[in-house]
Structure 1
Amino acid sequence: MSTAYVVVTVVTAVANLAAAGVDYARSRWVLANMAKYGLPASWIVPLGVIKTAGALGLLAGLVVPWLGEAAAVGLVLYFVGAVGVVARARQWRDLPYPAAFLGLAVASLVLA
């Protein structure tokens, strides 16, 4: 297990836990963005749960490698979907946010 893998995985997990925390807090800016993208506000907590599960799976993967790989795949798929939702809504200025998370998830998967 390389140092780069551990660092990228921990950064990815922390970023996703922070994003999930914002979801659980039902932050106004997140709810406003969801409305812009055409997503119902009722999805905010389930989306936070997915981010939390992915983050915890990445951290567990430091001990059980296949679990980390599965979590990284799940986060890649989640953020591909997020990029697609933002692009579909033609909110181009918002694209860097999910793209950055996608990049972290891809890096975690590649380094695994």
Structure 2
Amino acid sequence: MFLSLVVTTSLMAAVLLTSAGAKLLRTRHITEQMTTLGVPQGLMPLLITAQIAGAAGALAGLRWGPLAIAAEIGLTLYFAGAVAFHLRVRDHKGALPAAVLTVAAVALIVLRAATL
């Protein structure tokens, strides 16, 4: 089971760091999406930091379980918020990836708790 946790955690960290990088580089797709969602540009550094911290916490949590669980609870809330922002503007297509990542974050909590 720990191998499943390592693989899933690594994939989540890769997704988070890729997304944070796109936000940091202010790619056109991300900028347009954030504008559509009504996310202020001043909030971008906080979102980037949250994603990097979530990735770091999840990876470091492979050594210390409580840190992973805390990071993954934060990620669950982050992605649930993303789902809410997408649904608020009726962007159902954009809400789906955020919903999948919310479920993945919950799965990481369950996997990590099972391997404590």
Superposed pair shares fold, TM > 0.5: yes
Aligned 1:1-112 pairs, distance under 5 A: 2-112=2-112
Q: Give the gaps of 5 or more residues in structure 2.
A: none
Partners of 1:73 and 1:109 within 8 A in 2: yes
CA-CA distance at 1:89 after TM superposition: 1.0
Give me the whole-angstrom Cα distance separating, in 2, the residues matched to 1:111 and 1:80: 19
Residues 18-74 of structure 1, C-alpha deviation per residue, up to 9 Å, x if partnerless? 111111111111111111111112212210110000000000001111101100000
Q: Give the gaps of 5 or more residues in structure 1.
A: none
Give me the whole-angstrom Cα distance separating, in 2, the residues matched to 1:14 and 1:94: 19
Number of residue equivalences: 112
CA-CA distance at 1:5 after TM superposition: 1.1
Greater shift, 27-36 or 50-59, is seen at 27-36
Superposed CA RMSD in Å reads 1.2
Give me the whole-angstrom Cα distance separating, in 2, the residues matched to 1:55 and 1:86: 22
